[in-house]
Chain A
Amino acid sequence: MRKTLGLAALAAVLFCGAANAQQINVKIGVLSDMSSLYADIGGPGSVAAAKMAIADFTKDHPNVKVEMISGDHQNKPDIGTQIANQWYDVDKVDMIIDVPNSGVALAVSQVANNKNKVFIVSGAAASDLTGPKCNANTVHWTYDTWMLANGTGTAIVKTGGDTWFFLTSDYAFGHALERDTMAAVEKAGGKVLGKVRHPLNTNDFSSFLLQAQSSKAKVIGLANAGGDTINSIKQAAEFGIVKGGQSLAGLLVFASDVAALGLPTAQGLVLTETWYWDANDANRAWTKRWHEAGAAAGKFPTMIHAGVYAGITHYLKARLAMGPGEHDGKSVVAKMKSISTDDPLFGKGEVRADGRVIHPAYLFEVKKPSESKYPGDFYKLRATIPANEAFRPLNEGKCPLVSG
């Protein structure tokens, strides 16, 4: 009797094991700035986008079980690294996504490489992530500083803004954006007259704007983001910079920044993004669902949120193709590079050998208040940059994976 029971139990366990062998278990961590200046461009909105991506994918593929956790890196590389280490080691997270703030992203990229897990960057911009600091565990989605520099920078020089002064955020992102835009400006025939570096999260830009004014440059390039950009633009209006004949180049501006500035202050700004919520019906429908997934009402999704959705979708596609079982980071990323991307938000593109995801970019101009018909109606499309021109050519990046 006992032997029969034992055999039956063994059979039950083996049978369960066989059924579970079809199931693919994935754990994803959304690491973002939940409480500080980048919380609107990433933050809880990224968590909502992640929830949507997981729900949409598992609806079509019920044998994939995805668990998601989220965390706040507070824009500090040491905290970001500590969370990444804990997630990869203790919490068995397979993939970390988002991470606005290039300083934190560069640090987490190293952690992912050391632990051989996957890291998909949607929020951070520094092109070094697919340049000298690239590795086989990191995929850089959405955008980067090279794309911004060449989209916005080149367009402005072509319309006559050929002398520049930079107002730069003093950390990895600002330096990268300033470097890439300087290169783009000089390539297009412009000249850089000077630059000033300000600490991250600065309240008052009057002193730096005064230096920009006295440089007499035609264009003041704002190599900063989030609250810093908003303050720079607001205070530039106050100091009569635009009325005095200089123009502002917002090198990284999101729809949430435009909402915070208000159209009267932000009108005329030229910017480059890879996704806009109001560009077509698919994006509008996605935005509606994003609000239902828990994002704050009255806010609009940014391209970073779209990147989180697309990045998770592509990662899950790769995991599905690889089947159940443990897979190390490098092999999953290699799989992601072998499948071309085709998602409802960014369209067709691919993950390159250096980890860079390429898709089309769009040059937008902020509408005048009279041209805006409803809340969130911010941009008009000036130009579309095809995918293979929008991002830095593969052989120019100095990525060890490519030249090696």
Chain B
Amino acid sequence: MIEIFGIPSQALFGQLLIGLINGSFYALLSLGLAVIFGMLNIINFSHGAQYMMGAFAAYLILQYSGLGYWPALIIAPIIVGITGVIVERLFLQWLYKLDHLYGLLLTFGLALIFEGVARNYFGSAGLPYTVPESLQGGRNLGFMFLPNYRAWVIVASLTICIGTWFIIERTRLGAYLRAATENPTLVRAFGINVPRMITLTYGFGVALAAFAGVMAAPIYNVSPQMGSELIIVVFAVVVIGGMGSILGAIITGFGLGVIEGLTKVFFPEASNTVIFVIMAIVLLVRPAGLFGRRT
């Protein structure tokens, strides 16, 4: 067996694959954040809470209607996306003209409220949610045992990420959206309903977070604090990738997942700080992030 840096190559490839899987969660979440910040200039600190709401929505859909994982993948993001739309209409639309900090404070406060309500009703130990039947089990790849569900996570995440990037960068709708954020007055003059586009974009970003939440429910503990643990890392990912760049968020998400996975092999105690170390270095060298286009 070949050994690389003292670790058998089999173990290393297994960890790389796992890093890729974790990276797909980071990519999905940072995509939503990048869309919201890039398009709307809002620092959406309630992204983690919305991810948690997606997971809880999946659990509640199962409890009250008996619908399982596959319907929940579509219904939960829609429900949470609608709450995002309501938040935007009620609160966020007044903050666009102000400093970024106000949006941050508001969304942070909302995150605390959502988490507190969830903890009040459900406790903090978490709720059970099982992997759907069709995705249970796994296959032995030789160098590791890959659960089918984790393979599905990579596939779904890649599809959604590439699809979103395509819509925003390559379609007319995406072009309208990008134009609307650069020069809303001019775009409005052409008869395009800018406020509605912004609202729907925020709702879409929130729905992305909820989608990630539903994907996480079977494998991670569905608890009120599941989002707050993840959101700090996701922000670091977005900052490294460049706050306005969709492609940057996707590539950085996957890349950092792999780096974190390697750290878990060689120096596991540092695995939850390595991303921040990288963020500090990137900010020193390239303040706009690796792919960022704002100065």
Docked-complex contact B261 and A226, CB < 8 angstroms: no
Docked-complex contact A238 and B149, CB < 8 angstroms: yes
Docked-complex contact B149 and A197, CB < 8 angstroms: no
Q: Does B76 contact A (CB under 8 A)?
A: no
Q: Does B279 contact A (CB under 8 A)?
A: no
Docked-complex contact B14 and A210, CB < 8 angstroms: yes
Docked-complex contact A207 and B138, CB < 8 angstroms: no
**Stretch of B60-68, B91-99, B127-135 at the chain-chain interface:** B127-135
From B18, B124, B269, B271, A35 is in contact (CB under 8 Å) with B124
Would you give the 0/1 interface string for B241-252, flagging 1 where the beta carbon is closer than 8 Å to chain A? 000000000000
Chain A hits for B144, CB < 8 A: 210, 213
Docked-complex contact B264 and A207, CB < 8 angstroms: yes
Chain B hits for A298, CB < 8 A: 123
Docked-complex contact A40 and B123, CB < 8 angstroms: yes
**Stretch of A134-142, A176-184, A258-266, A285-293 at the chain-chain interface:** A258-266
Q: Does B47 contact A (CB under 8 A)?
A: no
Which residues 192-248 of A sit at the B interface, judged by CB distance below 8 A? 196-199, 201-204, 206-208, 210-211, 213-214, 226-227, 230-231, 234-235, 238-240, 244
Q: Would you give the shortest CB distance from A328 to chain B, in whole angstroms?
A: 36
Q: Does A43 contact B (CB under 8 A)?
A: yes
Given the contacts A43-B124, A226-B125, A260-B125, A203 and B226 also touching, CB distance less than 8 Å: yes
Q: Does A170 contact B (CB under 8 A)?
A: yes
Docked-complex contact B124 and A262, CB < 8 angstroms: no
Q: Would you give the shortest CB distance from A289 to chain B, in whole angstroms?
A: 19
Chain B hits for A203, CB < 8 A: 220-221, 226, 229-230
Q: Does A39 contact B (CB under 8 A)?
A: yes
Docked-complex contact B138 and A199, CB < 8 angstroms: no
Q: Would you give the shortest CB distance from A17 to chain B, in whole angstroms?
A: 45
By beta carbon, the residue of chain A nearest B220 is A203
**Which of B130, B131, B149 lies at the interface centre, i.e. has the most chain A CB atoms within 10 A of its CB?**
B130
Q: Would you give the shortest CB distance from A249 to chain B, in whole angstroms?
A: 19
Q: Does A25 contact B (CB under 8 A)?
A: no
Q: Would you give the shortest CB distance from A199 to chain B, in whole angstroms?
A: 4
Docked-complex contact A206 and B225, CB < 8 angstroms: no
The size of the chain B interface, using a CB distance under 8 A, is 42
Which residues 9-28 of B sit at the A interface, judged by CB distance below 8 A? 10-11, 14-15, 18-19, 21-22
Chain B hits for A226, CB < 8 A: 125
By beta carbon, the residue of chain B nearest A33 is B124
Chain B hits for A40, CB < 8 A: 123-125
Docked-complex contact B268 and A198, CB < 8 angstroms: yes
Q: Does A162 contact B (CB under 8 A)?
A: no
Q: Does A26 contact B (CB under 8 A)?
A: no
Q: Would you give the shortest CB distance from B208 to chain A, in whole angstroms?
A: 18
A170 to B120, CA, bound (A): 29
Docked-complex contact A296 and B145, CB < 8 angstroms: no
From A43, A196, A206, A261, B21 is in contact (CB under 8 Å) with A206
Q: Does A128 contact B (CB under 8 A)?
A: no
Given the contacts A210-B18, A214-B11, A240 and B147 also touching, CB distance less than 8 Å: yes
Docked-complex contact B18 and A227, CB < 8 angstroms: no
By beta carbon, the residue of chain A nearest B144 is A210
Chain B hits for A239, CB < 8 A: 138, 145, 147
Chain A hits for B221, CB < 8 A: 203, 227, 230-231, 234, 260
Q: Would you give the shortest CB distance from B5 to chain A, in whole angstroms?
A: 15
Given the contacts A256-B125, A260-B125, A170 and B269 also touching, CB distance less than 8 Å: yes
Q: Does B265 contact A (CB under 8 A)?
A: yes
Q: Would you give the shortest CB distance from A254 to chain B, in whole angstroms?
A: 8
Q: Does B184 contact A (CB under 8 A)?
A: no
**Which of B14, B124, B127, B138 lies at the interface centre, i.e. has the most chain A CB atoms within 10 A of its CB?**
B124
Docked-complex contact A238 and B219, CB < 8 angstroms: yes
Docked-complex contact B124 and A36, CB < 8 angstroms: yes
A299 to B125, CA, bound (A): 10
Q: Does A37 contact B (CB under 8 A)?
A: yes
Which residues 217-242 of B sit at the A interface, judged by CB distance below 8 A? 218-221, 223, 225-226, 229-230
Docked-complex contact B11 and A39, CB < 8 angstroms: no
Q: Does B159 contact A (CB under 8 A)?
A: no
Would you give the 0/1 interface string for B140-183, flagging 1 where the beta carbon is closer than 8 Å to chain A? 00001101011000000000000000000000000000000000
A385 to B52, CA, bound (A): 41
Q: Does B287 contact A (CB under 8 A)?
A: no
Chain B hits for A144, CB < 8 A: none
From A41, A199, A235, A240, B272 is in contact (CB under 8 Å) with A199
Q: Would you give the shortest CB distance from B253 to chain A, in whole angstroms?
A: 14
Q: Does B137 contact A (CB under 8 A)?
A: yes
Q: Does A273 contact B (CB under 8 A)?
A: no
Chain A hits for B119, CB < 8 A: 35, 39
Chain A hits for B265, CB < 8 A: 207, 211
A378 to B182, CA, bound (A): 59
Chain A hits for B21, CB < 8 A: 206
By beta carbon, the residue of chain B nearest A258 is B125
Docked-complex contact A199 and B226, CB < 8 angstroms: no
A244 to B137, CA, bound (A): 12
Chain A hits for B19, CB < 8 A: 207
A262 to B222, CA, bound (A): 12
Chain B hits for A261, CB < 8 A: 128
Chain B hits for A235, CB < 8 A: 219
**Which of A204, A260, A299 lies at the interface centre, i.e. has the most chain B CB atoms within 10 A of its CB?**
A204
Chain B hits for A238, CB < 8 A: 131, 138, 147, 149-150, 218-219
A204 to B272, CA, bound (A): 11
A36 to B170, CA, bound (A): 43
Docked-complex contact A39 and B269, CB < 8 angstroms: no
Question: Which A positions have Cβ atoms within 8 angstroms of B?
Answer: 35-37, 39-41, 43, 170, 196-199, 201-204, 206-208, 210-211, 213-214, 226-227, 230-231, 234-235, 238-240, 244, 256-257, 259-262, 264-265, 296, 298-299
The 8 closest A-B pairs by CB, nearest first: A262-B128, A40-B125, A207-B264, A39-B124, A260-B126, A260-B125, A199-B272, A256-B125
| With A39-B125, A208-B268, A256-B125 already in contact, 4 other A-B pairs whose C-beta atoms are closer than 8 Å | A39-B119, A170-B269, A210-B144, A214-B10
Q: What are 5 A-to-B residue pairs whose CB atoms are below 8 Å? A: A198-B268, A199-B272, A206-B18, A206-B22, A214-B14
